Amino acid sequence: MSNQETDAALLAEGDLVADYLEELLDIADLDGDIENSVQDGRAYIAIDTDSDLLVGKDGEVLDALQELARLVVMTESGHRSRLMVDVAGYRARRRAELVVLAKDAIAEVQETGEPVRMVPMNAYERKIVHDEVAGAGLVSESEGEPPHRRVVVSKA
């Protein structure tokens, strides 16, 4: 499949989810604009709203909403989706926070030489940290079981 065909398929996937989420917003009587795009080879659905109800504590409602959206795609198309859902820019803000946390852990490992165990994170958040650590030339691995799985940063 060409990039244009892939992007078109991902946009179609996003349209399906956007329709579903629009109905959900109506049912919940929440205002919000839904944008559908392709980012990093994934369908990306952004809900622009002033309400944080769809984000929840530590993004828990947002994560559940994303899983529901992926189930919609699975039900309609029969294939698993890697689509991302964001509400009110939460994921972008969280990504920036995680980069700062990763840089702090990297600095501590470089200064002390001792491994640093970070707070528990979900898989998406751990990936962001792993990428940042790899970019700094250090080593990271995940340890523990969800929901207590965390990244450990150490020297190579």
For residue 120, the enclosing domain spans 92-154
- Single out the residue of 141, 103, 131 nearest to residue 154, CA to CA: 141
Positions in the chain short of pLDDT 70: none
- For residue 104, the domain's CATH number is 3.30.1370.50
CB-side exposure of 85: number of CA atoms within 13 Å?
32
- Return the SS3 of 87: strand
Is residue 54 located within the same domain as residue 96?
no
- Number of domains present in the structure of the chain: 2
State whether 31 and 57 are in the same domain.
Answer: yes
**pLDDT score, position 3:** 84
User: Are residues 103 and 142 both part of a single domain?
Assistant: yes
pLDDT number for residue 69: 97
Q: Are residues 49 and 109 in the same domain?
A: no
| pTM recorded for the entire structure | 0.85
- Helix or strand holding residue 48 (H, E): strand 42-48
Which pLDDT score is estimated for 4? Answer: 84
- Mark which of 50, 72, 88 sits at the end of a domain: 88
Confidence (pLDDT) at 59? 92
Q: Are residues 84 and 141 in the same domain?
A: no
